[in-house]
Structure 1
Amino acid sequence: MIFIERMDHTIKKLKSQTANILTIGNMSFGGAALMATLNGAYSYSVLFIFIAAFLDRFDGIVARKLNQESALGKQLDSMSDIISFGVAPAILIYQLALIDFGIAGMIFTVIYISSGAFRLARFNISESNGYFTGLPITAAGTVLTLSFFGLSVLPPVFYMFLMLISSLLMISTFTLKKV
């Protein structure tokens, strides 16, 4: 009987943390993408960012479905997103396209990361109203990561503009309906 009670308690505990486990998976793949970039394994970095996006897509759905939304989960999700869709794509593109621009390449990369952090902080303190304000960092990071496939045909300066435009869209105040 005690074994069954403990097993039931463990299952309930695991269920209550399912969304957070997915979020930590998102963060882990974002970290792995960074390490892959630092080791020159750029294709793996892209793959890991896309896996992070997949996990990010489902952590909120799972939290709502299991009625497990929490302030901790919201904060953890934002920390994961800044790694997976802010830092990881920015460093990937910096290494592949912006490094030769020197300080200017660094500045555009830092502006992108900072804009993403600002966007996430603004999201965390706002009331949920069915709309996003500014471009979500997940969308910006996914577009930046997808641009990896244009490296052989697009000029490096394109990536400076892409980072700048993405940054401006993230911190802008236009609204976008949540899907």
Structure 2
Amino acid sequence: MKKHIPNLITMGNLSCGLIATILAINNKLEYAAFFVCLGIFLDFFDGLAARLLKVQSELGVQLDSLADMVTSGVVPGFVMMSLMKSSTSDYSTYGNDWTFEGIFGGSLIPFVAFIIPLASAYRLAKFNIDDEQRDSFIGLPTPANALLILSLPLILEYQFSEMAFTIIRNQWFLIGVTILSAFLLNARIPLFALKFKTWGFKENAVRYLFILACIILLLTLKFIAIPILLILYVIISLVTPKS
């Protein structure tokens, strides 16, 4: 029975992704963000449960990637598409209209958002066959990229300002973020993983300090902290000596 526990947790991640997809399609972006965050939380614990119970399996690895593809790949694509629709059309007419006429009656620019799930699929496929990424990452992990995309509607909803509205509702900014996220997902950039083999401070100093920075910035800046933390994550990874 215990061998099924990690896979059940993974199924919970996938279920969160499916719910978030429906919410994103219906323009409930802040609720979609909540379920994606819940899915990412479960994604962290399925692997942890497998290691603690010593029931790691190839099935679990593949199932985990399939769940991530939905929760951290498809959902961010729909969220970005919704943001692009609102920036390129009369939002009252097309913003929440996902019929054939509603999508194609406006601009085709929102379809640029499909780059995100496509890049996510390629990144996840590479991860599954890359032995270099067992203890660290090469390229931005899909959950981190999902948080980057989902921080945008959360900033608009809970930290509204004219500057934030002007920037995030700008179609060229959204296209730029989409292309940048696709690049970071598959770039040959080594990034440290938040996986603890031991709990000692010396060997995990970078991880502990980054977690501390996350707590401080999230408490002070809230959702605006998310893109800042991702930039910090990349910078720290680049300047940290590789063992």
1:7 equivalent in structure 2: none
Structure-to-structure mapping, 1:29-108, within 5 angstroms = 29-95=16-82, 97-99=83-85, 100=88, 102-107=107-112
SS at match of 1:57: helix
SS at match of 2:151: helix
2:153 equivalent in structure 1: 148
2:115 equivalent in structure 1: 111
Instruction: Give the AA of the match of 1:98.
Output: M
1:133 equivalent in structure 2: 138
SS at match of 1:120: helix
1:4 equivalent in structure 2: none
SS at match of 1:69: coil
SS at match of 2:55: coil
Deviation at 1:17, TM superposition (A): 0.9
Following TM superposition, the consecutive aligned residue runs of length 4 or more in structure 1 with deviations greater than 3 angstroms are none
Write the distance in 1 (CA, Å) between the matches of 2:186 and 2:45.
Answer: 25
Q: Which range is displaced more, 147-156 or 63-72?
A: 147-156
**Is the 2:77–2:115 contact (alpha carbons within 8 Å) kept by the matching residues of 1?**
no
Q: Which range is displaced more, 24-33 or 44-53?
A: 44-53
Write the distance in 2 (CA, Å) between the matches of 1:103 and 1:68.
Answer: 46
1:120 partnered with 2:108: no
Write the distance in 2 (CA, Å) between the matches of 1:112 and 1:156.
Answer: 18
Q: Which range is displaced more, 86-95 or 156-165?
A: 156-165
Equivalent position to 1:167, from 182, 185, 190: 182
Gap change, CA 1:41 and 1:104, over 3 Å in 2: closer
Deviation at 1:73, TM superposition (A): 0.6
Instruction: Give the AA of the match of 1:62.
Output: A
Instruction: Give the AA of the match of 1:156.
Output: N
Q: What TM-score do the two structures reach when normalised by structure 2? A: 0.64
**Is the 2:76–2:117 contact (alpha carbons within 8 Å) kept by the matching residues of 1?**
no
Identity score, percent: 30
In structure 2, list runs of 5 or more residues that go unmatched.
Answer: 90-106, 195-243
Write the distance in 2 (CA, Å) between the matches of 1:174 and 1:165.
Answer: 13
Instruction: Please give the per-residue CA displacement for 1:69-94, whole angstroms capped at 9, x wherever unaligned.
Output: 11111111101111001111220221
Q: What TM-score do the two structures reach when normalised by structure 1? A: 0.85
Deviation at 1:22, TM superposition (A): 0.7
Q: How many residues align?
A: 164
In structure 1, list runs of 5 or more residues that go unmatched.
Answer: 1-12
Write the distance in 2 (CA, Å) between the matches of 1:32 and 1:46.
Answer: 10
**Whose RCO is larger (CA < 8 A, sep 6+)?**
1
Instruction: Give the AA of the match of 2:128.
Output: N
Deviation at 1:129, TM superposition (A): 4.1
SS at match of 2:54: coil
